[in-house]
Amino acid sequence: MYIGLLGSGQASADTMKQAYEVGTLIAQAGDVLVCGGVSGVFERAIQGSADHGGTSLVIAESSVRESVPGCTHLIPTGMGYARHTILANTCDGALIVRGWIGSVSLAAHFLARNKPLVALRGSGGLADSFHDEALIQESTYRIHSEDSPSSAFSTLIRMIRAQDDPI
């Protein structure tokens, strides 16, 4: 599976540890880590994946091919936030570790495609804004939340498998 990571370029030391664990879990499951950033929580998740033999794919906003330690594949789109469409189409679902303004836009792309999102409660930013409630009262669009990287990952995998037509 292709597992997205919504995050931010800055985070606390505890959140960085959680991001590393997320990358580790994705690698250990044999899944691909997909993200749109290369610093902060993204960098730590990429390193966690790399340290455990995993594959990572960065769909970067820059038009320059950067060297990202541990990153398996990097696509320099030069598209800024417009790359969110590519990210959401590529992933089967995503985890939110902290998250910031760009994550709001990206989350909307996932929800519009009915792809599961699970936020890591306590990691700060966008992730702490969701508590398993509908984003719009009349809709079924939800961002689920969990308290640990392992429970967030397990919930996401369960949700992806429960969908009728996963990619």
What is the overall mean pLDDT for the chain? 92
pLDDT confidence of residue 130: 75
* pTM, entire model: 0.93
Write the burial class of residue 64 (CB in 10 Å: 0-12 exposed, 13-18 middle, 19+ buried).
Answer: exposed
Write the burial class of residue 48 (CB in 10 Å: 0-12 exposed, 13-18 middle, 19+ buried).
Answer: buried
pLDDT tens-place string over residues 101-144:
999 999 999 998 989 999 999 999 989 987 766 666 665 678 89
Question: What are 71's two structure tokens?
Answer: 């990153």
pLDDT confidence of residue 129: 86
pLDDT confidence of residue 166: 44
% residues pLDDT > 70 (the chain): 91
Q: Could you give the domains of the chain?
A: 2-162 (3.40.50.450)
What does the alpha-carbon distance between residue 27 and residue 37 come to, in Å, rounded to a whole number?
18
Helices (H), 9-77: 13-28, 41-51
